[in-house]
Amino acid sequence: MGDQPIHPFDRALALRAVADGRYEVSSSAEYWNMNGPFGGLTCATALHAALQHAPASMEPVSLTVNFCAPQKPGLSSLQVREIRRGKWTSHLLVRMRAEDGTDVVTATVVCGVREPGFSHQVVTMPTVAPPHELPSMPADPRFAWLQQYDFRFVSGALRLNDPQAIGQRNAGSILWVRDRIPRPLDRLSLAALCDVFFLRVFHVRQKLALAGTVTLTAQFHASDEDLARQSDRHILGVADASTFTRQFFDQQARLWSDDGTLLATTTQLGWFQS
């Protein structure tokens, strides 16, 4: 279809194979956060590497990414091993190291054969205003990765330092989100979107402080047809937390197609400085 420029997400995800099961990836200035890459990009990168070694007959069904150490700009290396392949599932292990050899990420990926059969979606998408009726969040220029997404909050937007919002201690958000430069949804961008929700500790305290995701698990429910039908439009994210205690907190999110199909569920554990 002619010379389409490469989307920033695909540029950031580009792997160079350096040996069997070994890849290099360059850090992306476009997806940089304040003190490291956007965690969702790291999730997508780990998944991208794992999928090079998964059976073509299987889809990713689950991904756990452990953020072991801060990442600096530069090259990272990824090592992928398929630990076990069964009839219905494949289990893969990914280790990511910085240029100086520091282990920065471990990830486990499960792929599975998905066939039609019994189907039941227990939960239903909340009824909310459509994205075109909601303002696009202005992106804070200190965080490059924010420029890569279009955020339209239905509720639970950050209101930093607002005394009334601090008093509410609300950890929940509902928002429409998509790549700012439209790109059809696929499993890699869905994995990245699983970490697009701001740390709930920022919401509940309405202040930015030293904090980060320690481990994230994403579960993928979308079929190829669900992804194709959603294409590049906004998905709906519903995020919340259950507890903040002794420097750690959890958060969960559901990611919905705009026709109400549950695409993914995710949970993470974060650390915060008290």
Residues found near its own copies in the complex (CB under 8 A): 61-62, 64, 66, 68-69, 83-84, 86, 88-89, 91, 93, 95, 102-104, 106, 108, 110, 112-123, 169, 171, 201, 204-205, 214-215, 217, 219, 221, 223, 240-248, 250, 252, 254, 262, 265, 267, 269, 271-274
Least separation in angstroms between residue 223's CB and its own copies is: 6
Query: Phi and psi (nearest 5°) for 86?
Result: -110, -170
Which structure tokens are listed for 120?
A: 């039941």
d(CA 223, CA 214): 28
- d(C-alpha 238, C-alpha 191), whole Å: 15
Considering the complex, state which of residue 4 and residue 273 has its C-beta at the smaller distance from its own copies.
Answer: 273
**Alpha carbon distance 80, 96 (integer Å):** 9
| 112 vs 131 by CB, closer to its own copies | 112
Cα 97 from Cα 243, distance rounded (Å): 31
Interatomic CA distance for residues 105 and 87, integer angstroms:
28
| Token pair belonging to 136 | 């696009």
Closest separation in Å from C-beta 3 to its own copies:
37
Minimal distance, residue 146 CB to its own copies, in Å: 25
Q: Which CB atom, from 11 or from 84, has the smaller least distance to its own copies?
A: 84
| Identity of the residue, 54 or 262, whose beta carbon is nearer to its own copies in the bound complex | 262
